[in-house]
Structure formats: structure tokens, C-alpha cells
Structure 1
Amino acid sequence: MSDDIVLTAGDAEVIVQPGNGGRIGGLRVSGTQLLRQGERFGCFPMVPWCGRIRDGRFRDGTTVRQMPLNSPPHAIHGTARDGAWRTARVTADEAVITYDLVEPWPHTGRITQVVALTEDTLTLTMSVETYDSSFPAQIGWHPWFNRTVEGADVTLGFSPAWQEERGEDHLPTGNRLDPKPGPWDDCFGMPGGVDVTLTWPERLELKVASREEWVVVYDEQEAAVCVEPQTGPPNGLNTLPRLVTPLEPLEATTTWSWRRL
């Protein structure tokens, strides 16, 4: 099954799209759509890597792997958003969907995403597991929040410990800077966990939280703002790999909570 799934809780509604890369196609609160609409937007999973891989190459043990350059000269945002996921379980307010890794990713493995809705929160939990060989991986989410909601333009509030210096190739150089004012297409470190608040004045406040310490903020588009919690920085398969093993899957969670103002 890959049909769209509608979850409801109170006046909140979420559309889950297994057939469109396992993305969240929409989030409505009191009838107001918070996510940019369109086949490429909503909120898509970034897995088995997040952001860009330099030149599409990463080291996998003693082997150098090459991924397709879908954002030349780099590979970007993983492969799972390009495939159809399967629906494992659905209730009124929760969905579980899965995706089996296939080429061009060189390893077998299964990704599971749990989408859980309450009246004032959306929790996304994703895991990557393998029953075969170990491999490096990352997990993240790429939501496109509408910049304007009910006529109000969003403001961002967050206090990162550092900002990753961005090179001309859009990848972190390895240097850490004091956070600079936007606009951003940048990765930030939040060692206490991701904690970013989007406020549409006099309309709604939404907090993006995660125990992970990395977040990419992208606000260079006129229509939307992206706040992307992830398990490592862009190019992290090379610079800060997290290993998935048969005994230890990789798991991450993000929770969005909101309130009317």
C-alpha cells in the first residue's frame, strides 16, 4: 500500500505520503496549512544521508562509494525520498511506513518511520537497520514551512552554540564560527539538542525539537523556510559517520509542537 494516509487528532491533520518518498505532504492546524504544498515539498526524510556529499563520494570502510550527482557537483539528501515506501500499520493518529534500501545505495537495509500525531504535537521517529554488513548513515528531515501563514510572516528563534563555516561548495569547511545573522543555508550546532521556534506573529508558534545536535536552516526562498534536524552535518558520511550495524541500528526523533497565539 502506498496511498496517502490522513491522520487526525483534535483540529490537527497530517497527510503521510508513502508513495512520494515517505514524506509528510501536509500539516493543518485549525484548517491552516503550515507546510509548503507540491510534490517536492511538504517534509521529506533525508536518509541514508543528509544534505550534500562532496562529489557524491564517501568512504565505506576501505572502499570509496560513488553516489549519483543529483545536485552537481554533489549528491544530496539521500535516496529514500526518491522511492515508494510501504505502509506497515495505520491508526487514526499514527502511521508506520517502511522503505528497503536499493541501488544506488550499496548496502541492504530497512528504514522505518513512525508518524505520531496529537492535538498539539507531531513526532517523527526514523530508524535504519541492517541484517547484513555495517555501513555509515545519517537520518534527518527536510520540512518546508510556509513563510507566510494567515498573512503573517515567520520569524525564527534559536540559540546555536556555533555555525559551521560554509565553503564555496556549500559544504562545511570544518571550522566553527560564532553564529551569524541570516539569510542562511547553513548548518548549526546545538549540543543540548535542536530547539528552534518558528513564530507567525499573532497567529501560531511552532517549535522544532530533537535530541540530535545538528540543524540546517535554509531561509533563502521567498515561499518557505526549512529547519532540518539531523544526526550529523552535511558531508557527514565523510567527516562524522554514524555506523549502522546488525546489532545497533541508527535512530532519531524530531517533535514539532505548536500553539495558537
Structure 2
Amino acid sequence: MSTKKITLTAGDAEATVLPDNGGRLGSLRLGGVELLRQGDRYGCFPMVPWCGRIRDGRFHDGATVHQMPLNSPPHAIHGFARDGAWATARTAPDEAVLTYDLTDPWPYPGRVTQVFALAPDALTLTLAVETYDSSFPAQLGWHPWFQRELDGTGVQIAFDAAWQEERGADHLPTGNRTAPRPGPWDDCFGMPDGVDVTLTWPGTLELNVTSPEPWAVVYDEQEAAVCVEPQTGPPNGLNTAPRLVTPLEPLEATTTWRWRRL
């Protein structure tokens, strides 16, 4: 794995961007305290051109069926841009812009742009996918791995959702919606007014994850980390709730993490 990295700073916040490791955020430190689980597979990676699992790795575009590699058998998961090297388009002390060209096995040409903008009290991430050729369905999202404990304090997760996608034995939504249930979760929630989830490490830090998008997967089944994943559609959404990328209209999404010390 390449050690190439971009370091952003704003106040006592420091973010490390790793273009060669899937365009992921490798680190976010506040006053020297690391918020993200460390490791090549962790940090916070972009999910593009789809989020979560695609059932059997197949999605429909009209009458055409496309098969993606089964990187989480029997499904395909989280896109593949997280596995590639991204190009660095621009950097500043508190901002970085990366690009990634969609290639095989994705059947459509397109370009993904990701922007990291750091402030002393917030980080804003933006993703956009555009095409100058055929229109195609796509999804965008982020998969952050937040530390379960900071300074020995365990995290508390709070949010209000309009519904929870019922999860089948294959970890994919069944199409039924239920009232939100207590965790532990590896579940997709509907938030029609926008994603709004608060992580609190009592006495240490409060982190608010927001996005205009109406979907978030919350995952807290792991001992080391918890995940809050804003995205443009639910798992298997290329088949059930696709968003279209056209030459006239790119697909764009954004999320902001805002923090305050307690």
C-alpha cells in the first residue's frame, strides 16, 4: 500500500487523506485524539458507484442486467472505488479534491469527484459522479468507522428515524418498513428530512453527522468501532431506488460532521 497522504489542518483538527488507498479519509484527529478506527480497510471510505450490498451482484438498467464481482459473496458490496487509486486534483491547507474514473467492471464511463473541506469544528465531505456519455444508475455514500471509545469513554448513538428497513437473512432490505427498533444494528433507516445522527462520548466529545440525503445505515455490531453511513439510497438501491446520472445532471451528495468538546 502506498504511503502517499495529504494532511489538512484547521485549528487543532487534523485530517489525513489517502488518495492511493481508495480515496479514503485515513485519520481525523482533534487535539491529538483519533476519531477513526485505524487500518488500511478502515478510516472513512467513499461508497461509489453503489452503497451496501447488491443482491447476487446483479443490477438492472432497463432490460439490461449487469453482473458485478462478488466481493462479499453471495453479494457485491460498497462499490469498488474504495479499492482503487484516486488522482489528486487540488490541495490547500484545509481542503483536498480527488478524482476517480469509473472503469471495468463498471459498464459505464464516468468520473467521481470527492472534496474534503476541514474547519476547526467540522469536516464536510462531498461526492459527485458525472458522465459525458450514457446515462446510468448509481449511488453515493460514505462508510466511516468511528472509534467506539475515546479516552476510555464508550459512545452513545442517538437519532430519530421515520422508519427502519426490515432486514432479511441475507442482510438486504425485504421491501417492508418497520418502526425503528433498538440496536444492535446493521440496518438502514429512512430520514426524509435528512440524515441527523449524534454520537456522544460523555464528558469527551459530541459529533453530529448530517446530510441532506434521506438514508443512513447504522452499524454497531463491532467491538472496536461504530458506523454512521449517509447514502443516496438503501442497500440494493441500484435495483430498488436508483438515482440516475445523466450528461446534464450529475449525482451529488454531501455530509458534514460537526463536533464540540464536552
The verdict on a shared fold, with TM-score over 0.5 as the criterion, is yes
Counterpart in the other structure of 1:248: 249
Counterpart in the other structure of 1:94: 95
Counterpart in the other structure of 1:213: 214
AA aligned to 1:154 is V
Q: For the residues of structure 2 that align with 1:17 and 1:147, how far apart are their CA atoms?
A: 22
Answer yes or no: is 1:144 the counterpart of 2:136: no
Counting only pairs closer than 5 Å after superposition, residues 1-261 of structure 1 correspond to structure 2 as 3-261=4-262
Deviation at 1:61, TM superposition (A): 2.2
Q: For the residues of structure 2 that align with 1:8 and 1:213, how far apart are their CA atoms?
A: 30
Deviation at 1:60, TM superposition (A): 1.4
Q: Work out the number of aligned pairs and report it.
A: 261
Deviation at 1:118, TM superposition (A): 0.2
Percent identity between the two aligned chains:
76
In the alignment, structure 1 segments of 5+ residues that lack a partner are none
Q: For the residues of structure 2 that align with 1:167 and 1:185, how far apart are their CA atoms?
A: 11
AA aligned to 1:46 is M
Deviation at 1:22, TM superposition (A): 0.4
Once the two structures are superposed, what CA deviation does each residue of 1:135-183 show, in whole Å capped at 9, x if it has no partner?
A: 0000000000000001100000100010000001100001000000000
SS at match of 1:237: helix
SS at match of 2:103: coil
Q: For the residues of structure 2 that align with 1:153 and 1:193, how far apart are their CA atoms?
A: 26
Q: For the residues of structure 1 that align with 2:135 and 2:83, how far apart are their CA atoms?
A: 23
Write out the 4+ residue segments of structure 1 that deviate beyond 3 Å after TM superposition.
none
Structure 1-normalised TM-score? 0.99
SS at match of 1:173: strand
Q: For the residues of structure 2 that align with 1:244 and 1:148, how far apart are their CA atoms?
A: 39
Structure 2-normalised TM-score? 0.99
Q: For the residues of structure 2 that align with 1:160 and 1:71, how far apart are their CA atoms?
A: 28
AA aligned to 2:184 is P
Q: For the residues of structure 1 that align with 2:166 and 2:3, how far apart are their CA atoms?
A: 40
Native 8 Å contact 1:2 1:85 kept in 2: no
Native 8 Å contact 1:2 1:87 kept in 2: no
Q: For the residues of structure 2 that align with 1:18 and 1:44, how far apart are their CA atoms?
A: 11
Q: For the residues of structure 2 that align with 1:61 and 1:104, how far apart are their CA atoms?
A: 18
Q: For the residues of structure 2 that align with 1:47 and 1:62, how far apart are their CA atoms?
A: 22
Native 8 Å contact 1:49 1:138 kept in 2: yes
Q: For the residues of structure 1 that align with 2:4 and 2:64, how far apart are their CA atoms?
A: 38
Once the two structures are superposed, what CA deviation does each residue of 1:178-231 show, in whole Å capped at 9, x if it has no partner?
A: 000000000000011000000000000000000000000000000000000000
Native 8 Å contact 1:163 1:179 kept in 2: yes
Q: For the residues of structure 2 that align with 1:70 and 1:166, how far apart are their CA atoms?
A: 20
Q: For the residues of structure 1 that align with 2:103 and 2:154, how far apart are their CA atoms?
A: 40
Deviation at 1:2, TM superposition (A): 8.5
AA aligned to 2:196 is D
RMSD over aligned Cα atoms: 0.9
